[in-house]
Amino acid sequence: MDFLIGDDLAALRSRVRTFVDERIIPVEDRIVAEDQATGASATLAGLQQQARDAGLWTPHLPVEHGGLGLGIMGMCALFREMGRSMVGARVFHCDAPDQGNMDLLLKAGSAAIRERYLGPLVRHEITSAFCMTEPAPGAGADPSNLRTRATRDGDDWVIEGHKWYSTGAGAASFLIVMARTSDDPRTGASMFVVDRDAEGLEHVRDVEVMGPPLLAHREAELRFHGVRVKPDAVLGEIGQGFLLAQERLIPARLTHCMRWLGLAARALEMSRAYIARRESFGKKLAQHQFIQKMLADDALAIHSGNLMTLHCAKLLEAGNALEARPYSSMAKTHVARTLCKVLDDAIQMHGSLGYSHDVPFSLWYRWARASRIADGPDEVHQMVVARDFLKDRMRLLV
């Protein structure tokens, strides 16, 4: 595997890095504060315009849709840089869930759906949400528990059900909704694009969670009371819901890993700077072996997560999605745990300062803790790895 990237991509990465360091990080606290006070941020909007002017808007999209046609390896290079700020991906408009939803509409949306939603979504005139998870006993870690049901009525489909943790659904203009269309275990689910203002769609509440709201990331609970959609609202074909979910989730998982690696690397750099200047027991913290061990363990974990992510991206780029699956589970589990561990260690190395809001680690940790649950909890990804390894379907020494 070649770890070198081409000159063009290296130059692009360096531009993104400079943009994040010089323009985003100095104002990231202001962006979050403005958003929390008013639900919008003028500072963020200004930076988004700068990203457009710099030709860095939606870089993940194909060129004909206004992006840079990066491919997943190119996304690895750029998303890690953007992830160094919690609001970085939002500035370039390649944050979850909109980024994955754009890809899904491009891949499986009917002409009518693409015309209605894709352009406005790419231009960020509207936002979107992805609705799969349901409160117990519905779909969660196990999607086969799916209870939301779509039934045919004439040409239309009518959706009844209950969802929660639909990130950003409160403010979104449309939702991608996973619903049961038959009881077949493989082909029993389908995806529908539903207008957020559709009759019968109830926004019950935004669920209060461990981390404070971050930009559009509020976790909505929704009820569908006989919500009617036209046949062209189906993504792909009826019965392809589980398949499309896998196709959306594997690259989406990797893009999470890239952003999380960026944040973990920045936290470790901040810890390195602190331990190089703070003294205890007659020497710098950086000279104490316990501290060096923490630093080395974290560096090792970030580097391994980076390699896992690159390897899996390489498989996806070569079109080997099936082979990539257990590696994506491995990368997701490892990188999510690494992010939480690095942030916890950053708090530890900074002592009482680390626990305070004078530095961002406790806030980042509260957001980051979701990474071990969202898009499949650790245990389910470990189950996938164990299953594939037991069946001798994955090579450990690639």
Contact positions vs ligand FAD (CB under 6 A): 97, 130-133, 136, 140-142, 165-167, 219, 370, 373-377, 379-380, 383
Residues 6 or more apart whose CB falls under 8 angstroms from that of 128 comprise 97, 98, 101, 117, 121, 168, 172, 173, 174, 175, 176
**Backbone torsions φ then ψ of 219, nearest 5 degrees:** -95, 105
* Cis, peptide link before residue 137, omega less than 30° from 0: yes
Comparing CB distances to ligand FAD, the nearer of 77 and 87 is: 87
Comparing CB distances to ligand FAD, the nearer of 141 and 296 is: 141
Tell me how far, at minimum, the Cβ of 250 lies from ligand FAD, in Å: 14
Tell me how far, at minimum, the Cβ of 70 lies from ligand FAD, in Å: 23
3-state secondary structure of 232: helix
Comparing CB distances to ligand FAD, the nearer of 363 and 383 is: 383
Comparing CB distances to ligand FAD, the nearer of 62 and 188 is: 188
Comparing CB distances to ligand FAD, the nearer of 16 and 177 is: 177
Please state the length of the chain: 398
Tell me how far, at minimum, the Cβ of 159 lies from ligand FAD, in Å: 15
Tell me how far, at minimum, the Cβ of 99 lies from ligand FAD, in Å: 12
Structure tokens at 329: 């589970």
Q: Dihedral of CA 267/268/269/273: which sign? A: positive
Residue of minimal Cβ distance to ligand FAD: 140
Q: How many CA atoms lie within 13 A of 112 on its CB side?
A: 12
Comparing CB distances to ligand FAD, the nearer of 77 and 254 is: 254
Tell me how far, at minimum, the Cβ of 380 lies from ligand FAD, in Å: 5
Q: Do residues 245 and 132 touch, judged by C-beta distance below 8 A?
A: yes
Comparing CB distances to ligand FAD, the nearer of 47 and 169 is: 169
Comparing CB distances to ligand FAD, the nearer of 25 and 374 is: 374
Q: How many CA atoms lie within 13 A of 378 on its CB side?
A: 11
Tell me how far, at minimum, the Cβ of 136 lies from ligand FAD, in Å: 6
Displacement of CA 381 from its chain's centroid (Å): 16
Q: How many CA atoms lie within 13 A of 109 on its CB side?
A: 23
Tell me how far, at minimum, the Cβ of 213 lies from ligand FAD, in Å: 11
Q: How far apart are CA 82 and CA 84, in angstroms?
A: 5
* Cis, peptide link before residue 97, omega less than 30° from 0: yes
Helix 289-317 × helix 71-82 angle, to 10°? 150
Residues 6 or more apart whose CB falls under 8 angstroms from that of 59 comprise 12, 67, 68, 70, 74, 75, 78, 92, 94
Tell me how far, at minimum, the Cβ of 47 lies from ligand FAD, in Å: 24
Comparing CB distances to ligand FAD, the nearer of 74 and 376 is: 376
Tell me how far, at minimum, the Cβ of 206 lies from ligand FAD, in Å: 12
Q: Do residues 99 and 89 touch, judged by C-beta distance below 8 A?
A: yes
Q: How far apart are CA 145 and CA 164, in angstroms?
A: 14
